[in-house]
Amino acid sequence: MENIVELKNVIVSFDGERVLDELNLTIKDKEFITLLGPSGCGKTTTLRLIAGFQNPDSGKISFEGKDLNGVPSYKRQVNTIFQRYALFPHLNVFENIAFGMRVKKLPEKEIVKQVTELLELVNLVGFENRKISTLSGGQQQRIAIARAIANRPKVLLLDEPLAALDLKLRKDMQKELRRMQKQLGITFVFVTHDQEEALTMSDRVVVMDKGKIQQVGTPQNIYNEPKNAFVADFIGESNIVDGVMKNDYVVDFSGHTFKCLDKGFDDNENVDVVVRPEDVDIVDSDKGMLKGVVTSVDFLGVHYEIIVDIGGFKWMIQTTDKHNVGDNVGLDIEPDAIHIMKKSEYSGLYGDYSSFSEEMDHISDVVTEDD
């Protein structure tokens, strides 16, 4: 696949604060790439740079190898789906979708034909004369999609387009967008703070924080091989503990020596160890590699979420077996359940479940704030 958009050493500051810090990103032609991160991580700014609503302080943006710096947004071959859709309230559905084509001065016959096709694509045939204010959120969303792809962009930018929809509609739209992307064969750059959304929809995920890219990779790659504690914590649930890499394939943590599948670290190097909650087996106290006490049990339907205190560090374990608070249990961790990461600025900040409330604050921040 060829590269379609490239960002090189891009820096953007607002009021002296760096929003994007020497960002390098390559977007390939026809891929579904997701920019994922908490609010304020710079993902929306990255999108606005590509759209042309924002100019970089320094650095280079190119499109199909050509320099995009200074090219106004109305001359770029990209289109955007805005977070709150930004449909034109004074125009009806037909005119909203036709807007780009009218600017291009296409013949009326062509416009009518294309709008009809687009309405078919987004399943809203017969809505031509409806006012925008009479449409539901999901319908407005579809009109926004139709309007954005009417100009046949090479890249479609989507700025948290599903954030305002309810859960069920969001799930449907995720599939719908994926289908459209395949059908249209154009590049989608999707911005979201919802890790599940990012994992289900994307070919590649770009995890961002503090204006920097933390990791780029396939959803599987990001989930199974997180690069640092931030990524491990942001994508799914993780127990992250301090460990010491004894030598290749052997790691010490929580007072026990484990076999693992990682290598290439210095002998006795301090590392972060990630163990996903679903990869831990609870066994009898005397048979476990680690021993601890159950401090909380939550039933979530599919499984129980159990917090086990092991020497003061609280582990989260997801299991379908029931345990009770106060039980003495043992934990069994297989070598393939252990992932070793280099120490980073995020070490020690995440992955301990002793203070659930802080975790919840963090999540609700992400949901309610816009960036």
Partner 1 sequence: MNKKSFGSRLVAAPYYVWAAIFIIVPLLIMFYFALTDQNGAFTFANIMGIAKYKKAFLISIIYAVIATVITLVISYPMSYFMTKMKISSQRMILLIVMLPMWMNFLIRTYSLITILANKGIINTILTSLGLKPLHLINTPGAVILGMVYDFIPYMILPIYSVMSKIDNSLLEAASDLGSNGFSRLKNIILPLSLPGVISGITMVFVPSVSTFYISQKLGGNKNLLIGDAIEYLFNVGPDFYNIASALSLVLMVMILLCLAVMNRFSSDEEDLIV
Looking from the CA of 141 toward its CB, the CA atoms found within 13 Å total: 20
Q: Which is nearer to partner 1, 82 or 304 (CB)?
A: 82
Give the nearest distance from C-beta 118 to partner 1 in angstroms: 13
Q: Which is nearer to partner 1, 100 or 226 (CB)?
A: 100
Q: Which is nearer to partner 1, 104 or 182 (CB)?
A: 104
**Sheet (strand 256-259) strand order:** 256-259, 250-253, 239-247, 269-275, 338-342
The position carrying tokens 């049990």 is: 297
Give the nearest distance from C-beta 133 to partner 1 in angstroms: 4
**Sheet (strand 58-63) strand order:** 17-28, 3-14, 58-63, 66-67
Orientation angle between helical segments 137-149 and 167-184, nearest 10 degrees: 20
Tell me how far apart the alpha carbons of residues 189 and 76 are, in angstroms, rounded to a whole number.
15
Give the nearest distance from C-beta 307 to partner 1 in angstroms: 43
Give the nearest distance from C-beta 182 to partner 1 in angstroms: 23
Q: Which is nearer to partner 1, 121 or 308 (CB)?
A: 121
Binding site for partner 1 (CB under 8 A): 51-53, 72-75, 78-80, 82-84, 86-90, 99-100, 103-104, 131-133, 147-148, 150-151
Q: Which is nearer to partner 1, 186 or 207 (CB)?
A: 186
Orientation angle between helical segments 137-149 and 93-103, nearest 10 degrees: 20
Tell me how far apart the alpha carbons of residues 314 and 239 are, in angstroms, rounded to a whole number.
8
DSSP state of 236: S
Q: Which is nearer to partner 1, 25 or 132 (CB)?
A: 132
Tell me how far apart the alpha carbons of residues 46 and 328 are, in angstroms, rounded to a whole number.
49
Give the nearest distance from C-beta 69 to partner 1 in angstroms: 17
Give the nearest distance from C-beta 218 to partner 1 in angstroms: 29
